[in-house]
Amino acid sequence: MNKEETYLPEDAYTEEDIAFVKELVESYGIPEGAAVDCLASRTVEEMKVVLAFLRRYGHMIKIS
């Protein structure tokens, strides 16, 4: 990823959405495009499930 982080245009998403994408990218090595697609295809409850799973098991699947 570039040195300059983009994540999401702040005017189009909530702070929670930006934090979701940022965590997927920085903590789990998921490409930004895939993280944005994940955000776009999930409800708030589903995003909570995704994060709960990754927080518990993400260290096993982290991409370097």
- Residue 2, domain member (yes or no): no
pLDDT above 60: residue 62? no
Domain count of the chain? Answer: 1
Structure confidence by residue, pLDDT tens digits, 11-54: 667 888 888 999 999 888 889 899 988 888 888 898 889 899 98
- Residue 3, domain member (yes or no): no
- Residue 27, domain member (yes or no): yes
- Residue 21, domain member (yes or no): yes
Q: pTM score, two decimals?
A: 0.73
Residues 39, 21 contacting (CB under 8 angstroms): yes
- Residue 48, domain member (yes or no): yes
- Residue 10, domain member (yes or no): no
- Residue 5, domain member (yes or no): no
- Residue 49, domain member (yes or no): yes
Q: How many CB atoms lie within 10 A of CB 29?
A: 13
Which residues fall within 8 angstroms of residue 62, CB to CB, at 6 or more apart? 27, 28, 29
C-alpha to C-alpha distance for 15 and 17, rounded to whole angstroms: 5
- Domain interval for residue 45: 15-61
pLDDT number for residue 52 = 93
